Amino acid sequence: MFNVRKLNSTAVFFITIILIIFIGIGDLYSGYINYSLLNEADLINRLGVIRGSIQRLLKLELIGVENAELLSSIDASLQDLRFEQNNPALTELRLQWEQIKQTILQHRSSPSGNLQHSLLSASEQIWDTANSAVLSIQNLSEQRLTQSKLLFALTFSTLMLAAVILVWLRRYVQGQLEYLVRYDTLTSAITRSYYEKILPREMEHARRNNSPLSLIVLDVDKFKQINDTHGHIVGDYALQKLAAILINNLRRTDFLARIGGDEFVIIAPQTTKTEAKKLADRLQRIIADTDFPGLGPISISMGIAQFDFKESMNQLVDRADQALYQAKADGRNQTAVSF
């Protein structure tokens, strides 16, 4: 009940940052792949146009019809491909085109059967080279499509993981908020507001099951003097250590609540006032034997009241408070029981 672990958000923060970076990189790379696919599709279309234009130009040249505009258009189109330096077929295509232009100029100035044969051979050769360029680009596009599918799968998995983390983070935040509502940040005892919900519940449970329930109210003797003499830091540390001792020596079914500065309440289900007195005496001995840094030993006073099924919560608490006042009046560092 009392070993409540405060969650550490460092791991969540770093995992979230890593996921955001991964998703961002994935989006950038996905954009690059899409851009490359569009560029390669455009390149294949341009190669088809260039290939067809070269074939048409050569047919015209073979029948003696010159078309300077078409030649210039092919030349300009191939010049636009000069940035594609990583494709050997495109490089070869440009070289073959330069040879074809020289052959065309020679054929125009001095037509012959050999030059016509050269143009026919060049036509077949540049067609094959253009096909090779198209195939190489298509293979590259297929590889990018495969990468795109893998990237999609990874991105989808990452988004699913991110969704899981967001759900977990939401629960984590809710858990932290619940912890802050239920547990005192200084001592890890339950808060007064939560104690006021638990006590009526335990009273009703005891009433239904006809089982005993005891309430132990306690505070530190002369705690104001400790704060005034040694300072609030020493006083806060004393409360932390006191609460830790109490928590470690209570049952998991018991509740320790901090309801004021140095005032605590123990809700002890299934416990008679006689059993509660034994528990209180044991706790007082342990605390008396403990050295509190900067203070040495300290003492506590305790008041006990066993729940009478006919009384209200306020009546039960008042009886426990009256017992605590009696313990204080009798000299402190002791326990009084309400009868």
- Torsion angles phi and psi, residue 284, rounded to 5: -65, -40
Q: Which residues pair with 216 in a beta bridge?
A: 266, 304
Which residue bears the tokens 């047919």?
Answer: 59
- Tell me what the mean pLDDT of segment 25-50 comes to: 82
Range of lowest pLDDT (31-40, 127-136, 228-237):
31-40
Please state, rounded to an integer, the average pLDDT across all residues of the chain: 87
- Name the CATH superfamily housing domain 192-337: Reverse transcriptase/Diguanylate cyclase domain (3.30.70.270)
pLDDT reading at 5 higher than 80: no
**Which of helix, strand or coil describes residue 3?**
coil
Structure confidence by residue, pLDDT tens digits, 123-156: 888 888 888 888 888 887 888 888 888 877 877 7
Asked if 80 is an active-site residue, the reply is no
Q: Is the dihedral of CA 137, 143, 144, 146 positive or negative?
A: positive
What is each CA distance from 50 to 7, 83, 102, 174, 177, in whole angstroms?
A: 66, 16, 18, 65, 69
Rounded (to 5) percent helix, strand, coil in the chain: 70, 10, 20
* Sheet of 255-258, strand order: 255-258, 263-269, 213-220, 300-306, 335-337
Range of lowest pLDDT (16-25, 94-103, 290-299, 319-328):
16-25
C-beta separation of 327 from 302 below 8 A? yes
Note the pLDDT of residue 4.
42
Note the pLDDT of residue 86.
66
C-beta separation of 245 from 287 below 8 A? yes
Which helix (H) or strand (E) covers residue 337, if one does?
strand 335-337
309 versus 58: the higher-pLDDT residue is 309
Catalytic position from the list 184, 219, 254, 262: 262
Say what percent of the chain tops pLDDT 90. Answer: 45
Q: Which residues pair with 269 in a beta bridge?
A: 213
| Reported confidence tier of residue 187, pLDDT bands at 50, 70, 90 | very high
**Distance in angstroms (rounded) separating the CA atoms of residues 16 and 215:** 46
Question: Cα torsion at 117, 118, 120, 121 (round to 10°)?
Answer: 120
| Reported confidence tier of residue 299, pLDDT bands at 50, 70, 90 | very high
Domain boundaries, the chain: 10-177, 192-337
- Tell me what the mean pLDDT of segment 300-305 comes to: 97
Q: How many residues does the chain have?
A: 339
pTM of the entire predicted model: 0.57
Structure confidence by residue, pLDDT tens digits, 192-220: 999 999 999 999 999 999 999 999 999 99
Structure confidence by residue, pLDDT tens digits, 70-97: 888 888 888 877 555 567 888 888 888 8
Which helix (H) or strand (E) covers residue 41, if one does?
helix 10-62
Note the pLDDT of residue 80.
76
